[in-house]
Amino acid sequence: MATDFDAAIVGSGFGGAVAACRLAEAGYRVVMLERGRRWHRQDYPSISRKNWIWNELDPVRDHGWLDIRHFGTIATIAGAGVGGGSLHFANVVIDAQPDLFDEGWPSEITFAGLAPYYQKVSDVLEPRKIPSNQFSNRTKLLKEAATNAGFGAQYDEVELAVTFNDDYAYDASREPRAGDSIERPNADGVQQGFCVHLGQCDLGCPVDARNTVAVNYIPRAERHQADVRPLHVVRSVEGLGDGYRIHFDRIDNGGLRPGSLTARIVVAAAGSIGSTELLLRCRDQHRTLRHISSTLGTRWSSNGNYLSPAVHRGRKVYPGRGPTITAGIRFFGANTHNGQHVMIEDGGVPDLLDEYRDELSNPRGDANRFGGLLRALYRVLEREPVEELMPWFAQGRDIPSGTFRLQRRFLGLLGRDVLRLSWDPSNARQVLDAIHELHRTLAGTTGGRILLQPPDAPITPHPLGGCPMAESATDGVVDHRGEVFGHHNLYVADGSILPRPVGHNPSKTIAALSERIADIIVHEGK
C-alpha cells in the first residue's frame, strides 16, 4: 500500500524528537504531529507573561505551555509544544542507576545494553555540570547540607542540558541580566546564548541557553526533510492492513479542522498520559486497534516527586536565580534511605509567584488552575521573604500501580469518555516519608525550617508508565523493541513504556530508549 509517509510520529518530546530525527536521518519520510504550538523566544511565558496553560477540554482557546491535570488523588504536569517536556524541563539529563533494569524489564533491556544509547543522547544534548565558578546559592546550600548530614560522598552536581560559558564571571548577589549572554549558533545552526542564571528555565529561557530537543534533535530531523506539524491533536490511529491512518484535529483560525494522513509505521510518543489515552481510545472507544494488551493503562507511577519549601532565616538562597536544578544527593544502591530509592535536589522557582499575586484573587485567571499547591505556597510565602526560601526537591521510586481507564463523564454512565486515573497515595507513602525525613534533616542542619506539611494530593511533573514494556502481552503493551504486541509497525517511544519509576529525572532514559527503538526500526529495515 502506498502511504503518505513512511513514519508518523505523534508527539515531539524526548521520545518523539529522537525517533523523528533518527528515522529522518535514515531516509524515512517522516511526519511529526504535535498538539502544541511551535514556541519562539518572544512567546515564552517568561517573556510574554501569557499562554501558560494547555486545556485538553478546550485547546482552541488555551493551547499554552503546560498541561496540568487533576486526577483526584494526584495531579500531573506535562508540556505542550514542539519540543514537548524539554521546553519546560529543569535540564537534568542523567543516566538511570544501573539497578533500575534488574527487575521488571524485558531481559533485553540492561544498563550495559543501553549505554551506547545514553551516549548518543549525550552527544546531542551535550549535558555538563554547572561550572564550579558559577555555583548558585542553592548549589552551595545543598552541598553544605549533604556534608553536615554525613551524605557528602553521595552529593554531586548533576549534568544539565545547558550551554554554559566557563569564562562568565557569575556574582550570586547581583540580579542576573539577560544582556550579559552572548548568542552563537549551535551545532544545528540554532542561535543560543549561554546561561546567565536568569532562573526562568521552566518558563522558557529568555536567552535560549537550554539545550531542549527543539534546538537540536528537531531541527536535525527537519534538515532531513521531516515534516513537523504543530497544532495537530491526534485523535485516533486506524489499522489499514499494511499501514495506518492517523486522524487528527488541526487547531486553526479559532476552530478544530479534522484531517488524516497515512503512514507505514506509527510511533506514539505523546508522553505517559498522551500515548496511554490515545491507545485506550483506539482500543476501547473507536475500536480501531482491538488487539492491544489488557495491561494498557497499568504500571503508572508518579516517580515519587516531592517539594518541601523551607525558610533559611538570614541566608540569601535566591530560589529565582540560577538553573532550576543544579545538584543532587543520591540514595541508591548501598545508600538507600529507610530502604527507599531517593534523589534529593535543589529546586529553583521562577518568579512565577509574583506573576500570580493579582491573578489568585481572580477566579477566571490561568492561575486558578494551578490548584491548591500554588495557593498554599503563596499563603506561606506572604509571611516569608522569598529570597530566603529553599525549595528542597526530590524524586524516588514509588510503587507503579496506578491505572488509567476511560469512563463516561457523568456518574460513569453519561457524556463523553474521559480519562481517569486510579492512584492510591499509599503506594507512594513510604518513599514520600523517606524524602520528607531527609528534607527535614538537610534543612535542619543548615538552619532551615520546612514550611509545609506533605500535601494530601501530590502533584507530579514526572508521569511514567501506562504502556509498559514487557516480555509478553500478558504483562505489558510493548515489547523490548517498543512495538505494540498484536500491532505490527505500531510503536510507543516515550515515558509511558517505563514499567517502573526511575527514581530521579527520567528524560535521558526516555530518550535513550527511543534511540534504541529507532535503531531497531532502521536495522530491521522496516
- Residues in contact with ligand FAD by CB under 6 A are 10-16, 33-36, 77-81, 84-85, 88-92, 202, 233-234, 269-272, 274, 278, 325, 461-462, 494-495, 505-507, 510
Helix, strand, coil percentages in the chain from 3-state DSSP, rounded to 5: 30, 25, 45
Q: How far, in Å, are 297, 402, 422 from residue 464 at the CA level?
A: 11, 10, 14
Place of cell 483506539: 282
Closer to ligand FAD by CB, 202 or 479: give it.
202
- Angle between helical axes of 507-523 and 111-125 (0-180°, round to 10): 100
Closer to ligand FAD by CB, 157 or 494: give it.
494
CB of 36 to ligand FAD, least distance (A): 4
Nearest to 481 by CA among 434, 521, 421: 521
Which residues sit opposite 92 in a β-bridge? 160
| Burial class of residue 382 in the structure, from the number of CB atoms within 10 Å of its CB (0-12 exposed, 13-18 middle, 19+ buried) | exposed
Q: How far, in Å, are 120, 184, 186, 209 from residue 190 at the CA level?
A: 20, 8, 5, 11
Closer to ligand FAD by CB, 64 or 448: give it.
64
Closer to ligand FAD by CB, 273 or 473: give it.
273
CA dihedral 167, 173, 176, 180 (to 10 degrees): -30
Q: Which one-letter DSSP state was computed for residue 184?
A: E
Place of cell 516517580: 303
Closer to ligand FAD by CB, 140 or 247: give it.
247
CB of 31 to ligand FAD, least distance (A): 12
CB of 414 to ligand FAD, least distance (A): 24
CB of 332 to ligand FAD, least distance (A): 16
Buried b (16+ CB within 10 A) or exposed e, 223-250: ebebbbbbbbbbbbbbbeeebbbbbbbb
CB of 419 to ligand FAD, least distance (A): 11
Closer to ligand FAD by CB, 77 or 428: give it.
77
Closer to ligand FAD by CB, 233 or 296: give it.
233
Q: For the chain, how long is the longest CA-to-CA vector?
A: 70
CB of 91 to ligand FAD, least distance (A): 5
CB of 399 to ligand FAD, least distance (A): 19
Judge contact between 464 and 401, C-beta under 8 A.
Answer: no
Distance CA 444, CA 30 (A): 53
- The type of residue at 341 is H
Angle at 43 (CA atoms; ends 274, 78), nearest 5 degrees: 20
Q: What is the three-state SS of 302-314?
A: CCCCEEEEEEECC
Distance CA 341, CA 518 (A): 30
Closer to ligand FAD by CB, 23 or 149: give it.
23
CB of 150 to ligand FAD, least distance (A): 26
CB of 445 to ligand FAD, least distance (A): 25
Closer to ligand FAD by CB, 33 or 477: give it.
33
Closer to ligand FAD by CB, 149 or 162: give it.
162
CB of 78 to ligand FAD, least distance (A): 5
Nearest to 505 by CA among 47, 38, 121: 121
Closer to ligand FAD by CB, 13 or 400: give it.
13
Question: Nine-digit cell at 219?
Answer: 531541527
CB of 54 to ligand FAD, least distance (A): 7
Buried b (16+ CB within 10 A) or exposed e, 386-418: bebbbbbbbbbbbbbbbbbebeeeeeeeeeeee
CB of 383 to ligand FAD, least distance (A): 25
Closer to ligand FAD by CB, 149 or 300: give it.
300
Report the first-to-last Cα separation within the chain, whole angstroms.
14
